[in-house]
Chains A and B, each alone.
Chain A
Amino acid sequence: MGQVKVFGYWPSPYSRRVEIALKIKGVEYEYVEEDLQNKSRELLLYNPVHKKIPVLVHAGNPIAESFVVLEYIDETWKGNPLLPSDPYERAQARFWAKFFDDKLLPAVRSALYNASEGEEAQKVNEDAEEVLKTLEKEVKGKKFLGGNEIGFLDIVGIVAAYWMPTLQEAADNKRQVSSHM
């Protein structure tokens, strides 16, 4: 089917989600760890527009932007589908994935990393809690975010959830961010 190569960066959740998807599909791939301070010529060649990881290269064709990559993976390797088959359910998964990236990750990252003191920290933590509460309403009662099978949203969310407690410890954040996860 053509060789698969992933250009990634191990701390990046965007990079990890691509690897998880490939593993779920049982696809073998070659992994290239990028030094973001010194990006490889290949990475810049394959993603000239954004110059970012992750990039998936399949049979010489490069695909960038993690959600675009996940959809490509799902459409190319049919076993263990990541997205539901019903168009409405697919739309819901895509909506929540976007919410996750546009709202949740930045809010939580802000709360954990940038929180300085006082009012600013307060606001940032409130934003993160607000977002987490919204997501929690969605997760209630479900085994996985996508329903009963692990899927798209779980892949997107899993890395952040796994790392949340560690990041929280590292940031010495007393707010109960992880109690919502």
Chain B
Amino acid sequence: EKNMGGGEEVVVLDFWRSPYAMRVKVALEEKGVKYVTKEEDLGNKSPLLLEMNPVHKLTPVLIHNGNPISESLVILQYIDEVWPHSSPLLPSDPYLRSRVRFWGDFVDKKIYAAAKKLWPAKGEEQETAKREFIESLKLLEEELKDGPFFKGDKFGYVDVALVPLTSWFYALEMCGNFSIEAHCPKIIAWAKTCQQRESVAKSLPHPHKIYDYVLELKKRLGLE
């Protein structure tokens, strides 16, 4: 049956550089759910990936007892609903849930979107992306005021949504020639706190590896 909680098969179709895939791994680790990953080569997608995510053909895909779920934030909510008893990611109050969903959506629409434009761009285009990135991050930073996490003292949905991007911070800073800490010190402090969690340390690659990958990608795409 689809919604059984325990004793089952959990597979993540993964891509090690993808912050979206990292979200899923962090969440599963937080919940203490056993899972296996299958690394995808997005230049050469496996038949399994194409079958499990025929619409977007992208990672991450969570396959739970053979049932595929796509879109990382949709996956996070699924994980929270199927394994509700350990480390809840979302609060139980509907209004607080709406706040958390709002900021998760903001992380995607503003912060990730700007980051994606930032690293490949040059000149004025890059300056615009940098501005958007920093301004959005600053807005979100205000939500840390009750800290250390976005929901106060509990690591949750918004933290899981944003923390994977911190593995890309070094690459973004190098490509954009700027310091994130200079603009958003609280975000950097929060990132360091998160890094101490096993779920995060296990799921995020070293920032230098991401930077090496970005350099290689830029060369391949002729973007230097």
Contact = CB atoms under 8 A, between A and B. Distances in A.
A118 B98 CA distance: 44
A94 B97 CA distance: 16
A63 B102 contact: yes
Nearest to A85: B3
B182 interface: no
Contacts of B70: 95
Contact residue range for chain B? Answer: 20 to 34
A98 B20 CA distance: 15
Contact of B101 (A58, A71, A91): A71
Contacts of A98: 71, 74
Interface stretch (B43-51, B75-83, B114-122): B75-83
Given A65-B105, A95-B70, A95-B71, A88 B3 contact: yes
A110 to B, nearest CB: 18
Contacts of A92: 69
Contact of B74 (A63, A64, A75, A91): A91
A92 B94 CA distance: 21
B55 A90 contact: no
Interface in B76-118: 77-78, 81-82, 94-95, 97-98, 101-102, 105-106
A88 B98 contact: no
Interface string A91-120: 110110011000000000000000000000
A34 B98 CA distance: 23
A130 B3 CA distance: 32
Contacts, number: 64
B97 A88 contact: no
A88 B101 contact: no
A146 B145 CA distance: 40
Contacts of B101: 65, 67-68, 71
B220 interface: no
B3 to A, nearest CB: 5
Interface residues of A, number: 25
A152 to B, nearest CB: 12
Interface string A53-70: 000001001011101110
B55 A49 contact: no
A65 B105 CA distance: 8
A148 interface: no
Given A63-B95, A95-B70, A134 B102 contact: no
Interface of A: 49, 58, 61, 63-65, 67-69, 71-72, 75-76, 86-92, 94-95, 98-99, 134
Interface of B: 2-3, 55, 64, 67, 69-71, 74-75, 77-78, 81-82, 94-95, 97-98, 101-102, 105-106, 139
